[in-house]
Amino acid sequence: MDMQEKLGILSGAARYDASCASSGCGREAPLRGTGNTSQGGICHSWSDDGRCISLLKILLSNDCRYDCAYCVNRSSNPVPRASFTAREIVDLTMEFYRRNYIEGLFLSSAVMKGPDQTMEEMVRVAEILRNEELFGGYIHLKVIPGSSPELVRRAGLAADRVSVNIELPSSESLHRLAPQKRKESILEPMKLIGGEIGTSLVERRSSRKAPRFAPAGQSTQMIIGASPETDLQILRLSQGLYKRMNLKRVYYSAFVPVNEDNRLPVLASPPLLREHRLYQADWLLRFYGFTAEEILSEQMPDLDESFDPKTAWALRHPEFFPVEVNRADYGTLLRVPGIGVTSAKRIVAARRFSLLTHEGMKKIGVVMKRAKYFITCSGRPFEKPDREPLQLRQRLLLGDGSDPVPAPRQLVLFS
């Protein structure tokens, strides 16, 4: 098999990993035009400072000995198999980097002979790139569940980001759909990585020469909709991971049915709107001071698909509003629909010099379409307040006529 064929198979097989997004479509350059789009291979991710970076996204191998129900690469699927050597991936990365196609590498793999043998090869790729090729670009390595602590440590020392996929939101679902994976084999490396990141940060405060361990942090990925857990269970799990494992990010990946298997649900389409709402709720956990139990409850365990989770929370808590923008503290401002982290900071800074008006709020970047129902400026509401939650719900859903809000709908991956 030549490199082009291998690249086709192993970049295609990597596209279900949600930690960064593949181009997702193939297109030939028009006659006398420039540039083709390839189905997989180059994907985009966001660095800490918000830059969009291009990564070569591939698997070391798709020749898996495990048989996870939801995975295209499972051992029982009759798909073409291929594996790269460590040297081949190093050469590809360096070639693409020199031609300015990519700024880094995202490397994952199926489980070949075993977790350690696979992880050893992946770590070798990163170590050759760093130590022999002196590659300074971004490297994201997936950690194979069950790999030895020593290999996990080496991965963290060579890569910028490492991630262990949690796969499913509960150990029962993991046992049912990925019977060869154990909860401990996922959580133990995660815990180790979290501890090493913390230690490295402390050591580097006293000496800049102390080694950096996964400086871009660790992340994980969870499949949504392949198993029966509620959004509350999912958010509680994410909340625990952020608190206990030093996690930078949880990626939610809407279940895409690729196999016929009676352990899997039959879905008309991947639950992309649910995935989107989970990302919004996750944002509330990380940056807005909400807890999973505030966003959802045992009585209402799933996110409202009609509203973003902050608006849904505000509709359930009329006693919290209206918020007076000239007095409210930063944490309170963050709870107002339409006010984000940036606009809350701007409000706090701007009101030191003068009282804020509704007009001023627009200029600051507040989304008044939503915020106008929940705030006052110097005691004045934007318009006559709708105290009836039902009425307010209707107005938010349909708009007030001047600015109609499109009804939420299930998103589609490709038209």
* Site for ligand SF4, rule CB under 6 A: 64, 66, 68, 71, 73-74, 110-111, 178
**Strand locations in 72-159, DSSP E?**
104-108, 138-142
The angle at the Cα of 245, spanning 336 to 131, to the nearest 5 degrees, equals: 115
Residue 66 or 283 having the CB closest to ligand SF4: 66
Least separation in angstroms between residue 122's CB and ligand SF4 is 13
Residue 61 or 239 having the CB closest to ligand SF4: 61
Question: Could you tell me the two tokens for 401?
Answer: 């006529």
Least separation in angstroms between residue 64's CB and ligand SF4 is 3
Phi, psi of 362 (to 5 degrees): -60, -45
**Residue 61 near residue 82, CB atoms below 8 Å:** yes
Cβ neighbours of 412 (radius 10 Å): 9
Q: Return the residue matching tokens 């191998």.
A: 61
Least separation in angstroms between residue 329's CB and ligand SF4 is 45
Least separation in angstroms between residue 120's CB and ligand SF4 is 16
Residue 39 or 75 having the CB closest to ligand SF4: 75
Residue 64 or 396 having the CB closest to ligand SF4: 64
**Residue 258 near residue 202, CB atoms below 8 Å:** no
Question: Could you tell me the two tokens for 403?
Answer: 């600015």
Distance CA 94, CA 87 (A): 11
Radius of gyration, alpha carbons of the chain = 24
Residue 68 or 344 having the CB closest to ligand SF4: 68
SS3 at position 76: coil
Residue 66 or 242 having the CB closest to ligand SF4: 66
Q: Return the residue matching tokens 């979290």.
A: 194
Least separation in angstroms between residue 109's CB and ligand SF4 is 8
Least separation in angstroms between residue 201's CB and ligand SF4 is 30
Least separation in angstroms between residue 264's CB and ligand SF4 is 13
Give the distance, in angstroms, between the CA of residue 356 and the centroid of all CA atoms in the same chain. 36
Residue 68 or 333 having the CB closest to ligand SF4: 68
**Residue 60 near residue 119, CB atoms below 8 Å:** no
Phi, psi of 240 (to 5 degrees): -65, -40
